[in-house]
């Protein structure tokens, strides 16, 4: 996986790959079945036909989690939680509503069950997940100091520069792809799906672009 990512980044830096295409390819590649379920990490990399990665570097397997922080007027994390659990079949884990106002809180949404290994990954690889959350602005904030987020990635006292990075959508691979049936399911929910080759784009309850595709959408097409 690391070798494939290095190759994509190299093409991006050389101008052979747009930023949009890079993001799409990385998201889909992470969730796409490109080798047997029993393949070890080294075998998965070999299956790409690329040289083995420099062992000095970390060996990335798959997406660990996506932090989905909800803002705006009257946010409610439960709407995002239910959307991804109900439509996408994700597993709700550690659902933690705010005691004083249950629209605030957070939940983890795991792609796989607790004892399941993600497809194509070595046994013991944890399931990727989404953290859907919004914080109660009136709640007392204990534990980490208020400037903890600014200090992550730097020394004490450093202010983290404001991010200029935008991930414009996230793509998910689903099983048993049937374009007609998927479109019917999405339309029945009033989601107005937009077709895009072997996939559909919809907006979740907070206007975020979600791409839904089958396993035929890969980085190698």
Note the pLDDT of residue 14. Answer: 76
Spatial neighbors of 148 by CB under 8 A, at least 6 apart, are none
To which residue do tokens 């097409």 refer? 221
> Regarding predicted confidence, which is higher, 149 or 163?
163
- In tens, the pLDDT along 150-169 reads 444 555 566 777 777 678 89
The number of helix segments (H) and strand segments (E) in the chain equals 6, 8
Q: Mean pLDDT of all residues in the chain?
A: 78
Q: Is the pLDDT at 4 greater than 90, yes or no?
A: no
Contact 220, 182 (CB under 8 A): no
Alpha helices of 63-156 — where are they, by DSSP H? 77-86, 148-151
Binned at pLDDT 50, 70 and 90, residue 172 comes out as very high
Q: Is the pTM of this model over 0.75?
A: no
Cα 197–Cα 221–Cα 201 angle in degrees, nearest 5: 30
To which residue do tokens 């047997």 refer? 36
- In tens, the pLDDT along 180-210 reads 999 999 999 999 999 998 899 999 999 999 9
Q: Which two tokens stand for residue 125?
A: 């690889």
Half-sphere exposure in the Cβ direction for 112 (13 Å, CA): 20
What mean pLDDT is predicted for residues 208-216? Answer: 90
Q: Which two tokens stand for residue 170?
A: 């996230």
- In tens, the pLDDT along 56-84 reads 566 777 898 998 999 888 899 999 999 99
Backbone angles phi, psi at 122, to 5 degrees: -65, 150
Distance (Å, whole) CA 135 – CA 122: 35
Burial profile 34-68: b = 16 or more Cβ within 10 angstroms, e = fewer: bbeeebebeebbeebeeeebeeeeeebbbbeeeeb
To which residue do tokens 């992550």 refer? 152
Binned at pLDDT 50, 70 and 90, residue 141 comes out as low
């Amino acid at each position: 996986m690391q070798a494939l990512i290095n190759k994509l980044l190299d093409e991006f830096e050389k101008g052979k790959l747009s930023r949009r295409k890079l993001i799409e390819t990385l998201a889909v590649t992470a969730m796409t079945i490109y080798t047997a379920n029993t393949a070890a990490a080294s075998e998965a990399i070999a299956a790409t036909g690329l040289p083995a990665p420099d062992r000095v570097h970390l060996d990335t397997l798959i997406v660990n989690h996506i932090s989905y922080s909800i803002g705006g007027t009257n946010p409610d994390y439960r709407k995002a939680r239910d959307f991804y659990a109900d439509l996408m079949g994700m597993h709700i884990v550690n659902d933690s509503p705010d005691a004083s106002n249950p629209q605030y809180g957070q939940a983890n949404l795991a792609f796989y069950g607790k004892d399941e290994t993600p497809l194509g990954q070595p046994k013991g690889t944890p399931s990727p997940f989404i953290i859907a959350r919004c914080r109660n602005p009136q709640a007392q904030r204990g534990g980490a100091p208020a400037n903890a987020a600014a200090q992550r990635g730097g020394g004490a006292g450093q202010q983290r520069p404001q991010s200029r990075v935008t991930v414009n959508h996230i793509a998910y691979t689903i099983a048993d792809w049937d374009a007609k049936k998927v479109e019917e399911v999405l339309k029945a929910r009033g989601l107005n799906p937009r077709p895009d080759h072997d996939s559909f784009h919809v907006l979740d309850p907070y206007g975020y672009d979600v791409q839904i595709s089958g396993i035929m959408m890969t980085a190698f097409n």
